[in-house]
Amino acid sequence: MLCPRIASTPSSKQGSRQVIASYERGMTAAPDALRDSLPWRAIAAGPIVAAVTLVTALIVTAEAGVPLRDPNGVSVARFLSAFALVAVLVGLDIAFRSGRRRWTPVRVVAVAGALVSFYVTYLAYRNLKSVVPLLRPDELFDARLADLDRSLFAGSDPAEVLHNVLGSGISAHALSGVYEAFFLFIPLAIAFALVILPDLRAGLFLTTALAINWVLAAGSYFLLPSLGPIYAESAQFTQLPSTGVSGLQQALLEQRMEFLRDPSVAGTAQSIGAFASLHVSIFFTAALATHLLGLARYVKIAVWVLFALTVAATVYFGWHYVLDDLAGMAIAVTALALARAIVGIDLRAARQPAEAAA
């Protein structure tokens, strides 16, 4: 926008300052007004996804003969951690970015609703995944998925190829750290979306897309039940050193065995399911979103690196077959498309505030 030329006189200088001040106020007020006038679709998107997933989980768990529950309080614990992080960031925003104007009642309700809805969806996801072996007993597609992997790699196992290329020393520990970073990435991504992004509609879009990943991933476990190479063909992973991932894999196996012995025990659940890769789908969703929302270059690079290393880790440790990772990428694209439709966001308009902040 071009300002008109003003003659250099005392009165005109005063008028010029008034014009500039008015212009600056408009530039500041416009984004705030935009954030405060959130469409109901954007606010309701997360709760809608959560409600549909929760109702589905109630129906499916009833069919499996077990109640809906939160074994070991994992969902609540992760929600509280994310809530604490969001609360800290909101406090910092108010203290250091003069963000008090941003945190209107509408914005607070929208952020709180999105946060609660995300973890309600996660709770429903855990219950859906847990009962897959009860509703589809003795149906495992590991052999067929492994054959497909070998056909894609000229008769070799992809995990074996990675072991030969990367070795089984420091690479194992590094990839283990990357894989476990997923559990920290989720609350960070949610907090970033809901607090840091300038346009809350963009944050609600990203949060909704990430939540839809839980829903689609749960459906994929019923579509092609499988355990993953680490459990179906464990011999090829025995040379790997003890890492955080190997400890997690052993713990999940013990939990699954305990759950299958007696699904009615309140503190038990099982979380083994190879097809599709949720880790890959979450990181791929975030990586694509960095471009859709026009985030800073360093953010794009960081998320893409995490995505690439996570793909390698899922195969290296035998969590997934190659097709599982490809399916995870398909889930990410679908989740973003569905989130855009539900939230009703114009991504071209949403890019501009993010690009300005970058």
Distance CA 261, CA 268 (A): 10
Buried b (16+ CB within 10 A) or exposed e, 111-134: bebbbbbbbbbbbbbbbbbbbbbb
Q: Token digits for 281? A: 């789908």
What's residue 351's pLDDT?
A: 81
**Cα angle for residues 67, 71, 74 (degrees, 5° grid):** 135
**Cα angle for residues 181, 148, 229 (degrees, 5° grid):** 40
179, containing H or E segment: helix 170-180
Distance CA 170, CA 186 (A): 25
Torsion of CA 95, 98, 99, 104, to 10 degrees: 110
Split at pLDDT 50, 70, 90, the class of 30 is very low
What is the per-residue pLDDT across 240-266, written as a single tens digit (0 to 9) for each? 999 999 999 999 999 999 999 999 887
What's residue 350's pLDDT?
A: 81
Q: What is the amino acid identity at position 11? A: S
What's residue 74's pLDDT?
A: 94
pLDDT at 26 over 90: no
Q: In the chain, pLDDT over 90 holds for what percent of residues?
A: 80
What is the per-residue pLDDT across 41-65, written as a single tens digit (0 to 9) for each? 999 999 999 999 999 999 999 999 9
Write down the pTM of the prediction.
Answer: 0.88
**Cα angle for residues 217, 218, 222 (degrees, 5° grid):** 110
Distance CA 110, CA 199 (A): 12
What is the per-residue pLDDT across 200-231, written as a single tens digit (0 to 9) for each? 999 999 999 999 999 999 999 999 999 999 99
Q: 3-class SS at 107? A: helix
Distance CA 71, CA 78 (A): 13
What's the farthest any 2 CA atoms get from each other in the chain?
89
**Across 304-320, average pLDDT:** 98
For the chain, which residues make up each domain, given as ranges?
Answer: 38-357
